[in-house]
Amino acid sequence: MSFQRTPALAATWALLAASLQWSAAALAADPTQPTAQAAPSAAGQVGPRELIEDSAQRMLKDLDANRAAYRTDPKLVHKLVDQVLLPNFDTPYAARQVLGPHWRTATPVQRERFIKAFYQSLVENYGTALLEFTADKLVVLPYKGAPDAQSATVRTQVKTSDGTRVPVNYTLHQTPDGWKAWDVTIEGISYVKNFRTDFGAEIDQKGLEAVITRLETEGPKAIPRKSA
């Protein structure tokens, strides 16, 4: 893969990891049901671009105001993500997509363990990168979707340390609670499809229980860093 290991892109991966962790409890509750789709957007509902931009700006504002405290205790960043970003992700749907067909045969306990271990591995690899994420590294591009669309792509660009702007696109869909993001594509590579392929192959070979145990045992070493 060709992801560049920079604070800005690593921060994006940290946000994805946190979105999966938030879903663990919901997955155990009723994991087999697909997310219901809402009717077309009502007048005044927050649009997909506004949702992504507002979440990012709120997070960046808090980071700027409390960066010293977050550096002292990086775990506080996880709380920030919980409060600002996670409510805007359809995390149960995203997690089901990551496990793919293996989701149907996994027990509720296995689903919860997988998501928790996967989250911990990613956050330990990338979480501290959020502390270097600043407003000048992110540009949200104009939204071109139809007003009554049921799915949307919000295009953004993340500036790397050498000044290159890397495309980071969010895939959203309508739910009963409004627009929710469920996938992120970085440099043309979908994180949902990428991890579904990686874990699917390993599960086919070793079994789901073995993969979960490896994730729980190896921690951050279990998830290779995405780098050039």
**pLDDT exceeds 90 at position 203:** yes
Model pLDDT, residue 102: 94
Which run of H or E residues covers position 59?
helix 48-72
CATH fold for the domain made of 7-27+45-134+192-222 = Nuclear Transport Factor 2; Chain: A, (3.10.450)
Q: Could you give the CA distance from residue 203 to residue 200 in angstroms, rounded to a whole number?
A: 5
Model pLDDT, residue 24: 43
Greater pLDDT, 131 or 104: 104
Mean pLDDT score of the chain: 76
Q: Could you give the CA distance from residue 215 to residue 218 in angstroms, rounded to a whole number?
A: 5
Model pLDDT, residue 136: 83
Which of 14-23, 70-79, 81-90, 109-118 is predicted least confidently? 14-23
Q: Where are the domains of the chain?
A: 7-27+45-134+192-222
Band of the pLDDT at 209, cuts 50, 70, 90? very high
Please, what's the b/e burial string for 41-57 (b: 16 or more CB within 10 A of its CB; e: otherwise)? beeeeebbbebbbebbe
